[in-house]
Amino acid sequence: MIQELDLVALLTDRISEGLRRGDVGTVVHIYSSGMHFEVEFTNAKGDTVAVETLTNDEIQPVDLGRVRLHYSDLAEAT
């Protein structure tokens, strides 16, 4: 059961918001239905990059033992 302040992983890309499958966010609000969650996505500095309302089938709880940091701004290999 997902609760407020839980870390969750995004299950689908949301390209228009700059999010992709596997991005980790924090649940900051659970709507009364229990089926919708407000999730804040931040960068490693703690800056908010997106806040999205997501359904329970768009996220899954995160196992912290499997989380790795990823730097996405590397130059293409030649």
Domain ranges of the chain: 7-65
Looking at the domain that runs over 7-65, which CATH code has it been given? 2.30.30
pTM: 0.84
- CA–chain centroid gap for 78, Å, is 31
Handedness of CA 52, 55, 57, 59 (dihedral sign): positive
Residue 54 vs residues 29, 47, 57, 72, 74: alpha-carbon distances, Å:
11, 20, 8, 23, 29
- CA–chain centroid gap for 43, Å, is 11
Q: Kindly report, residue by residue over 15-70, the tens digit of the pLDDT.
A: 999 999 999 999 999 998 889 999 999 988 999 999 999 999 999 999 988 888 77
Contacts of 11 (CB under 8 A, 6+ apart): 21, 57, 58, 59, 60
